[in-house]
Amino acid sequence: MVPQYIVTFADRFPLVGPLFWAVSVQYFVTMLVVALDWPTGYSALQNTISDLGNTSCGTYGGRYVCSPLHVWMNASFIVLGVTMVAGAVLIYQEFRKSRGSAWGFGAMAAAGIGTILVGIFAENTNSSLHEFGSMLPFVIGNVGLVVLGKTLDIPRRFRQYTIASGVVSLAALVLFVSGMYLGLGRGGMERVVAFPQTIWLIVFGLYMSRSHVRRLVRAWNKMWK
C-alpha cells in the first residue's frame, strides 16, 4: 500500500491511466481492417481471433487461414497488452484504498502480459506460448473483472456490469473449451469469451476519464470565480 503522503504519477496525471484503457478501441479497429484484407474472406464465426495474426497461408486447425496484414494484428495484440498493464498499474493508485482491488488490477495486468505473449508468439509459430498467453486474459483477466466488480467504489450499476462481464466470459470459456459453440462457431464463441473484457476496458476508461474531466472543470471554475 502506498502511504498517503506520497504523491504518485497517477495522482498528478489522473487521466493517463484511464486513457490507456480507452485506447483499447484500436484493437477492434485493427481487427476489422485486417479481416477485410483476407483474400479468401474472413469468417467471424468460423475463424478465431488468432487466425488474424497467423503468419502463413494454408490450412490451420482444420480451417483455411491467410492474413496478409498479420503484422498489424500482432502489433495490435502487443499494444493492447501494454496498455492493459500500464492502465492497471496507474488506475490502481486511485483505488488503492479499496480493499481487495489490488487483486483485481493485478489480474488485469497479468491479462495484459498474456495478450503481449499472444502478439509475440503467433498461433502457428509457438502454439504453446500462444495458448498460455491467451489463457491469462481468458481466465485470470475475467476473474479479475469479478473481483473488481466486488471491490471498487463505483456506482452499483457499473459494479453489476463489471461482474456480469466477467461471469459471462468465464461461462463462455467453459463452453468454448468443451467444444459447445451453441451455433456460434468456434470463432463466435471465442469472441463471447474475449470481447466483454476489452469492451469493459474501453467503457471503464471513458467513464474514469469523464469523471476526471468533470473534476478538473469544477476546480477550474472555482479558481476563476
CB neighbourhood size of 28 (10 A): 15
Residue 58 inside a domain? The answer is yes
Residue 190 inside a domain? The answer is yes
Residue 4 inside a domain? The answer is no
Residue 82 inside a domain? The answer is yes
Q: How many domains does the chain have?
A: 1
> Can you give the pLDDT at residue 209?
85
d(CA 221, CA 211): 15
How far does Cα 33 stand from its chain's mean position? 19
Taking alpha carbons only, the member of 49, 55, 54, 45 closest to residue 31 is: 49
> Can you give the pLDDT at residue 1?
45
Residue 7 inside a domain? The answer is no
Taking alpha carbons only, the member of 79, 24, 35, 59 closest to residue 205 is: 24
pTM beyond 0.85:
yes
Domain of 65, in residue numbers? 18-223
CB neighbourhood size of 154 (10 A): 18
Contact between 20 and 38 under an 8 Å Cβ cutoff? The reply is no
pLDDT per residue as tens, the chain (225 positions): 444 445 566 566 667 888 999 999 999 999 999 999 999 899 999 999 999 999 999 999 889 999 999 999 999 999 999 999 999 999 998 888 878 889 999 999 999 999 999 999 999 999 999 999 999 999 999 999 999 999 998 999 999 999 999 999 999 999 999 999 999 999 999 999 999 999 999 999 999 887 766 665 565 556 666
What is the widest separation between alpha-carbon atoms in the chain? Answer: 68
Residue 188 inside a domain? The answer is yes
Residue 6 inside a domain? The answer is no
List helix spans (H) across 95-141.
101-120, 127-135
Residue 205 inside a domain? The answer is yes
